[in-house]
Structure 1
Amino acid sequence: MKLKQIFSLSLIAMLIFMMTACSNSTDETSSKQEEQPKAAEEVKDLILATTTSTQDSGLLDVLIPMFEEESNTNVQPIAVGTGQALEMGKKGEADVLLVHAPDSEQELVDSGDAINRKRVMYNDFILVGPANDPAGIKGMEVGEAFQKLFNDGAVFISRGDDSGTHKKELDIWKSLELTPGDNTSYAETGQGMGNTLLVAAEKQGYVITDRATYLAQKESLDLEILVEGDEDLLNIYHVMQINPEKHDKVFSEGAEKFVDFMINEETQKVIEEFGQEEYGEPLFFPYTE
């Protein structure tokens, strides 16, 4: 073979090799680019204003991680009295509310500050007090028991914080046309349900509480259920989102997702089972509409 032919063949072979190498390099680069994960979606904060009972009972510790996982949302719960939670909603300082004062909630809906209000669950209020029950109210109807406590000047510990529980207590006093402060043994803590129960236990006084918080803290309290079961003691919780048309800084998409989450079948099942294993009875009951 002539030298010129050998040179030509070598040149062709070299070109083919370079083209193949170049092609492989391009394919590898393309493949690596395809393997690169997509940029993570931005995780947004959702401000949930709720009652201390949902926090103190431990329910939020179960529900919030469930919602965060499926919604790519970081929930920031603010547990306060229902009155404070509703005020936050009125000012657009929260995205979604989970509260239990139906009449006050309706006022927020009527004002246009809240929308998409849905019933979620219920439990009940109970009247607890010292095991020896010095006022002798065990088994009475709630109105009769409150009247007896007032007449006897019994130690009564109130939350005094405009919460749903406090509102219920005041409604009972009002129905009896009594001013609770006229009883010198009546005291307000201005605190959440858990701390108020601890104060009542320390002072061996009577206190109205939601059942969930009482059961969750029962082991650390020297208090017993004395009055329960009255229809007037039903405790209903609603979830609602703050109206984005009135408060344009709220995270409306996340709020709507949270409302849907709270009333979906899976979440309602979790609510129904919550507390049964640990306390022998559920702390809340599903109650959608």
Structure 2
Amino acid sequence: MHKMKTRGPARRALLLLGLLLALAPGARAAEPLRLAMVGGIQMSGVGERLRMRLEAGTGVRLELVAVANKEAIVPRFARGEADLLLIHGGSETFALQARGLGGQMRVWGFNEHVLVGPAEDPAGVRGAADGAEAFRRIAAARAPFVAFRDAGSHEIVQRLWKRAGIRPEPDWVLLDRSERPQEILAQAAQQRAYVVVGGIPAAFGKLRGEGLEILLRGDRRMRRAYVALEPGPAHPASATAREDARRVVDYLVSAAGQADLAAADTEAGGPWIYGLAEAPPALSAGSGAASPASPRR
């Protein structure tokens, strides 16, 4: 009889303990890690496939809260609306770190830029060994080239000009006069010019130009790093979110995470995003010649 009297209170105590544990701030089920990423990762089809694999590999539930250009997702991360940021490394990520909003930043993959030009290929760049050789042919033919004011394209072009030993001249290097980045191929088509653009938006129709083709791709020096930025000390992320962000990034750069990236890329019909094993050679992106146009930021 005595045992029957104590069973009820003991059971209620256990249920209460379980409820308190479920509602605790560190309970992962109650607090997904909020992820923001630049649009190209998702556009390629890799983003969602990679997200699911990261969840399976880490046990961290990932909520994709923003997919947009850097101008849109950087402020959201800064306001604390996202806990982990997948983006190109650059001045924006350095500024977040300087303000204490961004913490550890690690490279986890690379996208690729491609050389697009007229289908008739007046400079004969189709079949060139690499981007530097393609630019030597463009310069030798004085074929028109549009200096796209996109930050990534600007960085790649400067790198290739330096490697090729080219000094750009105004008789073949044309200013980017497009009002929006999406219009750059329309300008190149109108001027029958070559241009360097991101491979993902070019392949998925976000950049359109009549009579233009991708003439060169696959040069490792035409790749640009994606980084994962964790929350810094001034970021309002919770302790659980900080721990989970570190766990996800640790996994992403590990051998298992890189295998998941490769599998996600293959399923998406890649190559779209290259892993750490396919990084570009160490090479300064500085220019040995004056730039014809400042990068669009």
| Fold match by TM threshold 0.5 | yes
The answer for the alignment partner of 2:217 in structure 1 is 228
Letter of the 1:270 partner, please give it: D
Distance 1:93 1:23 in 2: 51
CA shift, 1:110, in A, is 6.0
Paired residue for 2:64, among 56, 62, 75? 75
In structure 2, the partner of 1:137 is 125
User: What displacement does 1:137 show?
Assistant: 3.1
Secondary structure at 2:236's aligned position in 1? coil
Superposed, which structure 2 residues align to 1:76-225 within 5 Å?
76-81=65-70, 85=73, 94-101=82-89, 105=93, 109=97, 112-140=100-128, 141-143=130-132, 145=134, 148=138, 151-153=142-144, 156=146, 158=148, 160=149, 162=151, 164-165=152-153, 167-169=155-157, 176-177=167-168, 183=174, 186-188=176-178, 190-191=180-181, 206-214=194-202, 223-225=212-214
Equivalent AA in structure 1 for residue 43 of structure 2: D
Report if aligned partners of 1:68, 1:75 keep a CA contact under 8 Å in 2. Answer: no
The 3 A distance-change label for structure 1 pair 255 and 198 is: farther
Check 1:173–1:93 CA distance in 2 against 1; reply closer, same or farther (3 A cut): farther
Question: Any conservation in 1 of the 2:178–2:187 contact (CA below 8 Å)?
Answer: no
Which among 264, 267, 274 is matched to residue 274 of structure 1?
A: 264
Q: 1:97 to 1:129 in 2, by over 3 A?
A: same
- In structure 2, the partner of 1:60 is 47
C-alpha RMSD over aligned residues:
4.9
Change (3 A) 1:224 1:121: same
Q: How far apart are 1:254 and its partner, in Å?
A: 3.8
The 5 A counterparts of 1:234-273 are 234-244=223-233, 246-249=234-237, 251-273=241-263
Q: CA deviation at 1:57?
A: 0.8
CA pair 276-201 structure 1, distance change in 2 beyond 3 A? farther
Question: When you count helix as a share of all residues, which structure comes out higher?
Answer: 1
User: Cα distance, 1:62 vs. partner?
Assistant: 0.7
Cα offset, 1:118, TM superposition: 1.8
| Residue ranges of structure 1 left out of the alignment (5+ in a row) | 1-18
Q: Which has the higher contact order (CA 8 A, sep 6+)?
A: 2
Amino acid at match of 2:126: K
Instruction: For structure 2, list consecutive stretches of 5 or more residues without a partner in the other structure.
Output: 280-297
Q: 1:88 to 1:282 in 2, by over 3 A?
A: same
- For 1:198 and 1:286, the matched residues in 2 are separated by 28
Structure 1 residues 122 and 278: alpha-carbon distance in aligned structure 2, compared to 1, 3 A threshold: closer
Query: Does the C-alpha gap of structure 1 residues 86 and 180 become closer, same or farther in structure 2, counting only changes over 3 Å?
Result: farther
Report the Cα distance in structure 2 between the residues aligned to 1:275 and 1:226, rounded to whole angstroms: 22
SS of corresponding position for 1:128: strand
Looking at structure 2, the residues matched to 169 and 61 of structure 1 have their Cα atoms a distance apart, in angstroms, of 30
Deviation digits for residues 54-88 of structure 1 (CA, Å, limit 9, x no counterpart): 1211111112234456213423133214x765566
For 1:228, give the aligned amino acid.
Answer: R
Paired residues, what number? Answer: 259
Q: Structure 1's 153 and 123: CA in aligned 2 closer, same or farther, altered over 3 A? A: closer
